[in-house]
Amino acid sequence: MRRNPPHRSVPRRLRGQLSEAVASLRRVMERRSREPLSADAPDSMTSAGGGAHAAARRTHAEQRERRVAAGLSELERWLADQVGQGIAQARQTGPADWDDLARRLVDAQAPGVAGTVTRLSRVLTAEEWPGLLLGEYALLHLLAVAHRRAAALPEPLRRTVRARVGFPVTRESVLATPAVRDHWDVVGRRDEEQDRLVARRAWLAGRTTGRLAMVLSFSPAGQPIEPFPPPGTTIDADLAFYPGASPLRALVAERRGLVDAGPPPGTKVSQVPALIAEVLAADPWTDSWPLVLDGAVPCPDCIADDEGNALPLHPSAGVPWRLLAVSGGRPVTVAAEWTPRGLRPLATWDEEGRVAPL
């Protein structure tokens, strides 16, 4: 039969001391629970966690820098091999080679360069494709070398290079920059679908500042895209521009409303070459730039002026019958997208100031 161990009683004096200590501890804990936490006193656990996250972000950024550098170094070698062996077989072997190269660049976390390589096949449909392809190769080589020598570049150009390579720029950081307020004329809008994604480009021109802007939005194919005012509309808005040597892409930081205005002020046809030369000197990879041409005379294959100056149309534009009909041979205001291969008309305004999207 088990016997319970003998009970050892706690002396009365010691029991009193313990009760008093417990009561005192309770009073201290209750008082502290009512005190507000000091804003200056760091939470050691939070600080430690924040430091660990910051260290992880730095490590991730450093790893990406190394991967991008390795990927662009491989791109330089690949380009040298292509030029060395010639491009005569590019129409037969190019698309497969470019797809493989683009996948490797995506793995190297250089999506901007990968996208450029993916689009190389577009030049093969042109009659002058050898020259166009060599030009694209030259721009890719220039981008790879610029990234390798980024430390020696001016800060705006360095940011342009990083953006072209594919380093992201957050929406929050763009909106944190000083915005440009103006009455912005919507001079053109175009939707393009690629890889089951619809991209909408809206081009704007500031009436007071003279600045040009492009607002870009995306939507999955088949889904409604974010609405934007149509060409011919003027909005009172603040735009925040993405950083770069020739900043064009922007976000609408604040839109105040519509403004009643006529056709936008434009540039003379004779001034366009110098304007585009300035843009390309700052950002050689620019392949699209909005223009508003004043006193423009549309022709079947170009846009001219009354002094005999002319700018060719892009081959895909065909004969701009609608533009010719609105003009009737008279000078009009024309908005167009400049590209290295020619202009793509966007909109025109007739003599009475009415807009005709193209």
Provide long-range contacts, Cβ within 8 A and 24+ apart, for 343-346: 343/291, 343/303, 343/311, 343/312, 343/313, 343/314, 343/317, 344/313, 344/314, 344/316, 344/317, 345/298, 345/303, 345/313, 345/317, 345/320, 346/187, 346/188, 346/189, 346/190, 346/203, 346/231, 346/290
Write down the pLDDT at residue 217: 92
168-201, pLDDT tens digit by residue?
A: 999 999 999 999 999 999 999 998 887 788 889 9
Contact 264, 335 (CB under 8 A): yes
pLDDT tens digits along 48-93: 556 777 777 788 888 999 999 999 999 999 999 999 999 999 999 9
Task: Look over the chain and give the mean of its residue pLDDT values, rounded to a whole number.
Answer: 87
- In this structure, the number of other CB atoms found within 10 A of the CB of residue 228 comes to 16
Q: Is the pLDDT of residue 123 over 50?
A: yes
Residue 8 has pLDDT above 60, yes or no: no
240/27 Cα distance (integer angstroms): 57
Q: What is the pLDDT of residues 194-233, one digit of tens each?
A: 778 888 999 999 999 999 999 999 888 888 888 899 999 9
Are 323 and 348 contacting, i.e. CB atoms less than 8 angstroms apart?
yes
pLDDT of res. 28: 40
Residue-wise pLDDT tens digits, 311-337:
999 999 999 999 999 999 999 999 999
| Per-residue pLDDT at 22 exceeds 60 | no
16, pLDDT greater than 60: no
The reported pTM is 0.80
Note the pLDDT of residue 223: 85
In 264-341, the DSSP E strands lie at 289-298, 302-304, 310-312, 332-339
Closest CA to 259 of 182, 351, 202: 182
Q: Which two tokens stand for residue 199?
A: 């991209």
